[in-house]
């Protein structure tokens, strides 16, 4: 019933995660009201998204050059590596402004259910980095999920022989949350991880 | 910190209604993991969204031809016009399968706050349609909002001299809702519009 060009854009939006039919329609009709130039810009941006993009040879962050801007930055502390699952996690840490070391992007988590084994991730490369460079500390910052915890455990065992300090980001109650509504595991973690006051 | 190509797509998504920074990032990183061909398809779909699209000369529905498929359909009842605000409203009615007449898209509502007067809408064209064609009934199906009601009132007064039957879609409790949580106005409407049982 709708013109094909419109249906096509609705379909494309509908394939995005968390975007249902109604939202896809709403977004498409929003675009329909925009100037043609805006549609060109949007379309070109999507088409060229992956052009010139590579993964940093050192940390596997997204980059336009062989090594990413974080690895290339001479002001970063090269003795600490923060291990994260995805590129977006780097952005999250960078926004805090509290970390000045380097990163290592695993590009996923170990997940037997989804057929993802350690070999599918960048764990080998991490091992080589820790082995060959003067790394003092490896911070395991995978998500506090079952798979994230398992991946952290796997990496900690793998790196143990290298005698590097291995830490895990703290798990506990998030700021602004209500103890009453915290789940049992989070509360347990917040007790286990309690600190001197 | 992120490559420019990535930032550009995040910005483009972020401009869409209801899409915040986090969602824009999530959608962009989802696209990053797709095949290049999928990015091409998405980009092309957006770029060509408005190509060959016109508004139907009769009802102002979106169309690839001078008159839209609904106006061109010989099986539709040409004596009834359902007046809606937006093209998407037509889709909503068509999905019910309960309406076999024609439509008229106002392309908005009268809204003095936003500087939209009757002249900015397709009300003149509607008046001419009712005046010159053999229309038996005009169903006012603008939204049950203040502006939608005001627009319906305006049109009903305008068409009154033409001695056509003018109706307004029923307002009341939506199916599956709970009377206890209905707002005062909806409840009033459901009383005023009560029907013999």
Half-sphere exposure of A11 (CA within 13 A, CB side): 14
Kindly state whether residues B79 and B160 are assigned to the same domain.
yes
Question: Could you tell me the residue range of the domain that residue A128 belongs to?
Answer: 75-168
Per the CB < 8 A criterion, the answer to whether A141 and A106 are in contact is: no
Q: What is the pLDDT of residues B40-52, one digit of tens each?
A: 999 999 999 888 8
Average pLDDT of span A22-29: 91
Kindly state whether residues B94 and B10 are assigned to the same domain.
no
Average pLDDT of span A125-149: 94
The pLDDT assigned to A166 comes to 95
The interface residues of chain B toward chain A in range 79-108, judged by CB-CB distance below 8 A, are: 86-88, 90-91, 94
Q: Are A3 and B63 within 8 A, CB to CB?
A: yes
Kindly state whether residues A96 and A19 are assigned to the same domain.
no
Kindly state whether residues A9 and A87 are assigned to the same domain.
no
Give the model's confidence band at A174: pLDDT under 50 very low, under 70 low, under 90 confident, else very high: confident
Average of per-residue pLDDT values in chain B: 91
The pLDDT assigned to B193 comes to 83
Kindly state whether residues A162 and A88 are assigned to the same domain.
yes
Would the CA dihedral through A85, A91, A96, A98 be positive or negative? positive
Tell me, what CATH number does B159's domain have? Answer: 3.40.1360.10
Q: Are A29 and B87 within 8 A, CB to CB?
A: yes
Angle formed by the axes of helices A36-47 and B4-14, nearest 10°? 140
Residue that has been written with the tokens 């989070």 in this structure: A186
Determine what percent of chain B is predicted with pLDDT higher than 70: 100
Q: Which chain A residues have a beta carbon less than 8 Å from that of B88?
A: 25-26, 29
Kindly state whether residues A9 and A85 are assigned to the same domain.
no
- For residue B177, tell me if it sits in a domain: no
Q: Which chain A residues have a beta carbon less than 8 Å from that of B87?
A: 29
Kindly state whether residues B133 and B85 are assigned to the same domain.
yes
Q: Is B23 left (phi over 0), alpha (psi -120 to 50) or beta?
A: alpha
Q: Which of B19, B41, B52 sits opposite A5 (nearest CB)?
A: B52
Give the model's confidence band at B17: pLDDT under 50 very low, under 70 low, under 90 confident, else very high: very high
H-assigned helices in B84-173: 87-96, 123-132, 146-159
Give the model's confidence band at A74: pLDDT under 50 very low, under 70 low, under 90 confident, else very high: very high
Q: What is the pLDDT of residues B132-162, one digit of tens each?
A: 999 999 999 999 999 999 999 999 999 999 9
Å between A184 CA and nearest CA of chain B = 28
Kindly state whether residues B28 and B84 are assigned to the same domain.
no
Task: State how far the Cα of A6 lies from the Cα of A14, in Å rounded to an integer.
Answer: 12
Average pLDDT of span B60-72: 91
- For residue B160, tell me if it sits in a domain: yes
- For residue B179, tell me if it sits in a domain: no
Kindly state whether residues B95 and B22 are assigned to the same domain.
no
ipTM above 0.90, yes or no: no
Residue B195: is its pLDDT beyond 90? Answer: no
- For residue A70, tell me if it sits in a domain: no
Average of per-residue pLDDT values in chain A: 91
A146 and B CB contact within 8 Å: no
The pLDDT assigned to A64 comes to 87
Residue A120: is its pLDDT beyond 80? Answer: yes
**Number of domains chain B contains:** 2
Tell me, what CATH number does A29's domain have? Answer: 1.10.8.420
- For residue A40, tell me if it sits in a domain: yes
Kindly state whether residues A26 and A99 are assigned to the same domain.
no
- For residue B174, tell me if it sits in a domain: no
The pLDDT assigned to A8 comes to 92
Q: Which chain B residues have a beta carbon less than 8 Å from that of A8?
A: 45, 48-49
Alpha carbon distances (Å) from B157 to A160, B111, B125, B161: 82, 17, 15, 8
User: What backbone phi and psi angles, to 5 degrees, belong to B111?
Assistant: -150, 90
Task: Please state which of the ranges B15-19, B80-84, B104-108, B188-192 shows the lowest mean pLDDT.
Answer: B188-192
- For residue B178, tell me if it sits in a domain: no
The pLDDT assigned to B8 comes to 92
């Amino acid at each position: 019933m709708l013109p094909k060009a419109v249906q096509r854009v609705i379909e494309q939006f509908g394939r995005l995660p968390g975007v249902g039919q109604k939202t896809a329609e709403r977004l498409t009709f929003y675009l329909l009201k925009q100037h043609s130039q805006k549609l060109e810009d949007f379309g070109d941006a999507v088409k060229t998204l992956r052009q010139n993009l590579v993964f940093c040879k050192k940390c596997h962050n997204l980059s336009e050059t062989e090594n990413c801007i974080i690895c290339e930055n001479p002001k970063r502390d090269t003795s600490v590596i923060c291990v994260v699952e995805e590129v977006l996690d780097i952005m999250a840490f960078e926004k805090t402004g509290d970390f000045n070391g380097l990163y290592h992007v695993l590009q996923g988590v170990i997940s037997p259910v989804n057929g993802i084994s350690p070999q599918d991730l960048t764990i080998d490369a991490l091992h080589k980095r820790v082995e060959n460079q003067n790394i003092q500390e490896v911070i395991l910052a995978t998500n506090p999920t079952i798979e994230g915890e398992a991946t952290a455990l796997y990496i900690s065992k793998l790196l143990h022989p290298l005698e590097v300090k291995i830490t895990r980001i703290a798990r506990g109650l998030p700021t602004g949350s209500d103890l009453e509504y915290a789940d049992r595991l989070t509360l347990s973690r917040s007790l286990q991880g309690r600190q001197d006051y």
